[in-house]
């Protein structure tokens, strides 16, 4: 049997969840699997009863942001994280390391002389040739392409002193560090097409079903009147002003709202038990059994489960990668983006500002028209069949077993 070390980036709990799902499969097959997370995510693992992990620093801790920023790539931060990772690799001597959206992983594995594989989504790899968050010929696409290109090169440049001090070759694009000996993609070609690229393998969605479960109020969903819209923005922080604006859109359409906050405190939200039920975590199998549509940030975990369950999806992104998932959903005919043509130039509130400027009536009309499109159920049926062909964690485990 083999020994594996899993290194998720800690900017989102979904990366940790993918590692947990994979560890479960590998351990059931008799392998020895180690997991390392940041100190803040250790609390989440403790809550789940997952007591087998190491705590390592992560470049994401520089600003605790959900998406990469310049603070992540400070040379001293890079060196500190690589040093800790190398020490752990030498202690454990794994047969292979798998990084999940982990920029420092390939640097550490090279220094420790350990084979390194990567798990990532297609749009965050150098093989991606479209403009993140924009459809072809969409207004603002050139500006977005320039902004993303400049950002990725600037991050790589900022890392150079650290990489040189480690005795490794520099990179021109920080996203080059998100690939490995083999690069496994948790999305799939029907969702996010990519050029055929040597070393890339589509394993498909990796599902984790053991999220913390609060004692869900048995009457919470039952109290809601009429049709229910499920709203979730994953485990990231979302401004109350945006949530209230969205709730008012749905109320104007006659929907009640089931809102999952993903651990975010319920502050500044209206109190209306017959029209709004608020949960910390709401399992998707419960939510989707009641909901007529999903409005989310575009996180792939939620999107893929909604596609599997043939639920119309409306994407309100908080960052460019999520906006790209909205492009994919729209291209498939399975829903629409509630924000388009937002050029991301580093301001964390750019998407929030753009959505708050959209009148309630305008957003409501867009959703209504999409739901009235008779092609949407047909496209959702096709998407559900396509996604069912992938076995995610099981297929990834098999590939790891056979280098």
| 318's tokens | 């908080």
The string of pLDDT tens digits covering residues 223-255 is: 899 999 999 998 777 889 999 999 999 999 999
Instruction: Identify the pLDDT of residue 212.
Output: 67
Tokens of 114: 């350990």
357 strand-pairing partners:
none
pLDDT score recorded for residue 217:
54
pLDDT value for 235: 73
What is the bridge-based pairing of β-strands 116-120 and 96-100? parallel
| Predicted pLDDT of residue 261 | 87
Residue spans per domain, the chain = 3-209+390-401, 228-387
Q: What's domain 3-209+390-401's architecture? A: 3-Layer(aba) Sandwich (3.40)
The owner of tokens 């009147």 is 225
Mean pLDDT, consecutive 10-residue stretches, the chain (403 aa), reads 96 93 97 96 89 94 88 96 98 98 98 98 96 91 94 96 96 97 97 96 91 61 92 84 96 96 80 90 87 95 95 94 96 96 77 93 98 98 96 97 90
Q: What is the pLDDT of residue 39?
A: 95
- Phi and psi at residue 27, to the nearest 5°: -70, -35
Residue 214 confidence (pLDDT): 56
pLDDT at 346: 64
Q: What pLDDT is attached to residue 350? A: 83
d(CA 234, CA 14): 8
Task: Read off the pTM.
Answer: 0.91
Rounded Cα–Cα distance for residues 127 and 194 (Å): 7
C-alpha 267: how far from chain center: 24
Asked whether this chain's domains 3-209+390-401 and 228-387 adopt the same fold, the reply is yes
> Rounded distance, CA 266 to CA 50, Å?
26
pLDDT, tens digit, 9 for 90 and up, residues 373-389: 999 999 999 999 999 99
- CATH, domain 228-387, list 3.40.50.2000, 3.40.50.720, 3.40.50.1470, 3.30.450.20: 3.40.50.2000
């Amino acid at each position: 049997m083999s020994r594996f070390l899993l290194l998720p980036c800690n900017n989102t709990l979904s990366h940790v969840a993918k590692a947990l799902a994979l560890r479960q499969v590998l351990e059931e097959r008799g392998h020895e699997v180690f997991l390392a997370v940041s100190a803040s995510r250790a609390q989440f693992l403790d809550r789940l009863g997952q007591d087998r992990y190491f705590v390592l620093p992560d470049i994401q801790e520089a600003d605790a942001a959900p998406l990469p920023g310049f603070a992540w790539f400070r040379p001293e931060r890079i060196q500190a994280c690589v040093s800790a990772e190398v020490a752990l690799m030498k202690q454990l001597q794994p047969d292979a390391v798998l990084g999940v959206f982990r920029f420092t992983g390939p640097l550490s594995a090279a220094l420790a002389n350990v084979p390194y594989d990567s798990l990532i989504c297609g749009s965050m790899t150098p093989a991606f040739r479209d403009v993140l968050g924009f459809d072809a010929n969409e207004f603002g696409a050139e500006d977005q392409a320039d902004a993303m290109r400049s950002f990725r090169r600037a991050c790589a440049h900022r890392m150079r002193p650290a990489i040189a001090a480690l005795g490794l070759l520099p990179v021109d694009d920080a996203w080059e560090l998100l690939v490995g000996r083999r690069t496994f993609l948790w999305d799939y070609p029907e969702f996010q097409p990519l050029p055929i690229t040597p070393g890339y393998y589509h394993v498909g969605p990796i599902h984790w079903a053991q999220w913390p479960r609060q004692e869900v109020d048995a009457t919470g969903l039952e109290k809601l009147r009429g049709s229910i819209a499920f709203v979730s923005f994953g485990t990231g922080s979302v401004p109350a002003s945006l949530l209230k604006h969205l709730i008012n859109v749905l109320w104007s359409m006659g929907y009640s709202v089931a809102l999952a906050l993903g651990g975010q405190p319920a502050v500044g939200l209206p109190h209306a038990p017959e029209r709004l039920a608020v949960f910390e975590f709401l399992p998707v199998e419960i939510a989707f059994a009641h909901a007529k549509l999903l409005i989310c940030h575009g996180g792939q975990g939620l999107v893929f489960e909604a596609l599997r369950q043939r639920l119309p999806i409306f994407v309100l992104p908080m960052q460019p990668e999520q906006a790209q998932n909205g492009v994919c959903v729209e291209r498939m005919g399975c829903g629409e983006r509630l924000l388009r043509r937002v050029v991301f130039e580093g301001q964390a509130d750019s998407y929030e500002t753009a959505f708050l400027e959209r009148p309630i009536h305008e957003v409501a009309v867009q959703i209504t028209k999409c739901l009235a499109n008779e092609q949407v159920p047909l496209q959702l049926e096709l998407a559900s069949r396509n996604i069912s062909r992938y076995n995610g964690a099981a297929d990834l485990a098999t590939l790891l077993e056979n280098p």
